[in-house]
Structure 1
Amino acid sequence: MHEDAAAVIRPLREDEAHLLEDFLYEAIYVPEGVTTRPPRSIIDDDPKCRAHFEGFGTLPDDRALVAETGGRVVGACWVRTTDCYGHIDDATPAFAVSLYREFRGQGIGTRMLRRMLEELREAGYARASLGVAKGNPALHLYKRLGFRIVGDGSDDTEWLMVCELRPS
């Protein structure tokens, strides 16, 4: 895989907020060897999933970046302080990040995450959080970027991770 220098990382436009629903579905971890994906209805049926995208842009802490290549949005990285997966408290933005499959492993997600972490630091947030399936290989990326496991997430299949944004 190659580093994709062609992808432009930019803020999500208001008229693109609907894309977050698609990217949240893409973010659902499907373990190696499992050939079927969960039904798309899962993101609407689960209140913690819906909280990642419903009314995005209406909360003061809503922030989102997208990766665009060839005029097409191919990934998104966003945070909210609502009761979604990875939520710790109302002062800590919880991450969601996703890329279409064919754009994974090229460094695009890393670039989006780094930029969002920097934006949160500059805005004065103390920390950020996320929830990740325990078997998800992205766990290694999150650790490289400074996230650490603080315990189980919403259940025992998920880790809750935190990244301290202020120097200790």
Structure 2
Amino acid sequence: MLEDFLNEAIYVPEGFEGNVPRSIVFDDPKCRAAYEGFGSLPNDRAVVAEVEGSVVGACWVRTTDEYGHIDDKTPSFSISLYSPFRGFGLGTAMMRSMLDELRAAGYARASLSVQKENPALRLYERLGFRIIGDGFDDTEWLMVVGFA
């Protein structure tokens, strides 16, 4: 299931022609690190959004070397909703729930990466994340939220 949500999370800019191949979530080691063996690490955590008994979104964190990774003590976020369920506050609710859980568990901070053109950037800023520099490359931001 996380592979599906990771595929949904790939930001496709407006005007992009063509398709992003689904194989990217399997071929890119940083993508695979976001889901491969999920649940096997002590700090793997996830919440889901359900509508009428169906999972329509997921928010999960890990400390593996995925996009948004800072160090082995800082969980990095992955979040996605199926497109018909975006814009209704489900993503905000999932992220707030996860942030509360991480804070309660004693983590000092959490991180994520986001494409610079992705409108979700505003959501992350509203939740307290701040840009600390470029992410994996110059098309994305690396963001951090502290719990102190």
Alignment of 1:144-159 (within 5 A): 144-159=126-141
SS in 2 for 1:141: helix
| 1:50-76 Cα deviation digits (max 9, x unpaired) | 000000000011000000111110000
Question: Which of structure 1's runs of 4+ aligned residues deviate more than 2 A?
Answer: none
The aligned residue for residue 87 of structure 1 is 69
The more displaced of 74-83 and 26-35 is: 26-35
SS in 1 for 2:142: strand
Q: Percent identity?
A: 72
The aligned residue for residue 121 of structure 1 is 103
2:42 is the counterpart of 1:60: yes
The aligned residue for residue 76 of structure 1 is 58
How far apart are 1:37 and its partner, in Å? 2.8
Code of the residue aligned with 1:72 in structure 2: it is: S
SS in 1 for 2:5: helix
SS in 2 for 1:36: coil
The aligned residue for residue 8 of structure 2 is 26
The more displaced of 32-41 and 116-125 is: 32-41
SS in 1 for 2:50: strand
Q: Distance in 1 between matches of 2:18 and 2:53?
A: 30
Code of the residue aligned with 1:98 in structure 2: it is: S
The aligned residue for residue 4 of structure 1 is none
RMSD over aligned Cα atoms: 0.6
Pairs aligned (count): 148
| 1:125-166 Cα deviation digits (max 9, x unpaired) | 000000000000000000000000000000000100000012
Q: Distance in 2 between matches of 1:133 and 1:109?
A: 17
TM-score by length of 1: 0.87
2:25 is the counterpart of 1:39: no
SS in 1 for 2:58: strand
How far apart are 1:35 and its partner, in Å? 4.1
Code of the residue aligned with 1:34 in structure 2: it is: F
Q: Which runs of 5+ in 1 are unaligned?
A: 1-18
Code of the residue aligned with 1:111 in structure 2: it is: A
SS in 2 for 1:155: coil
2:80 is the counterpart of 1:137: no
Question: Aligned match of 1:99 in 63, 71, 81?
Answer: 81
Q: Distance in 2 between matches of 1:55 and 1:48?
A: 13
Q: Distance in 2 between matches of 1:77 and 1:37?
A: 24
